[in-house]
Structure 1
């Protein structure tokens, strides 16, 4: 059986998804605020590499860009932002449709994105300094979070 990474079209499929999500986010009045300070010129490529690693693909993100600690720190210290999270998830769900993915894959990807957005990326609202060092990228499969 294919893993989630393969079912999503591998690196190219996840890059299409990352680009579609980023376009949706930038068009959203609330979520686009997260990017108002600017973003890396290869944001979509880096995001796709992160998702790829989390979903059973190669460890390109951690091998080239950083670990989970660096990702969580980027998303920390901004206070609680439940409305932004809800809208980011809605943008992701629309991006899944934009790239033409179907169930059951879309449900697994939604569950992953919603979980990551509302847990690991929202765990340290007070300060990025609270994020522990050495975190590994959580892995997600057809059955959810892998322990």
Structure 2
């Protein structure tokens, strides 16, 4: 049995490094710079982003315990209107950031990371129209080597 994507990547330090490298790449991108440099950004944005990705990809539920649920993430990115090619640029920065921090080059791992981020961007962009209704209490997504996993049933 394969380890989780989280464990295979190197755990929390790997995702914190990935989030920092991704953020730096987005700041350097002439189109992505604006949404990543606005003054209202949370001071712990990079750490929270790393915790979110870690949880979604098989790590501990630190993000959902400390920062909120998936609905909060969707709402934070909602109602921005047409995003043009920002989604593709975001994915490209993510893929390049994985190289920057030396995440494992295993093709199946890299395919799973890219597939997750492409899904995640599409999920967020559904709510980009200014009148979009963001669901409340959306469960945290969980992504594995096989893609999106079904949401757990409440106990």
Q: What interval of TM-score do these two structures reach, taking the shorter chain for normalisation? A: over 0.9
Q: Could you tell which deviates more after superposition, 35-44 or 120-129? A: 120-129
Match of 1:5 in 2: 6
More helix by share: 1
Give 3-state SS (helix, strand or coil) of 2:85's partner: helix
Q: Give structure 2 stretches of 5+ with no counterpart.
A: 151-155
> For each residue in 1:56-85, what CA deviation from the matched residue of structure 2 results, as whole angstroms up to 9, or x when unmatched?
111100100010010000110001214111
Aligned residues of 1:72 and 1:131 also touching (Cα < 8 A): yes
Q: Give structure 1 stretches of 5+ with no counterpart.
A: none
Structure 2 CA distance for partners of 1:36 and 1:128, relative to 1, 3 Å: farther
RMSD: 1.3
Aligned residues of 1:67 and 1:134 also touching (Cα < 8 A): yes
Structure 1 or 2, whichever has the larger Rg, is 2
Structure 1 residue 141 and structure 2 residue 144: aligned?
Answer: yes
Runs of 4+ in 1 over 6 A off after TM superposition: none
TM-score by length of 2: 0.89
> For each residue in 1:86-135, what CA deviation from the matched residue of structure 2 results, as whole angstroms up to 9, or x when unmatched?
111111111011011212222211111111012x2111122476101100
TM-score by length of 1: 0.94
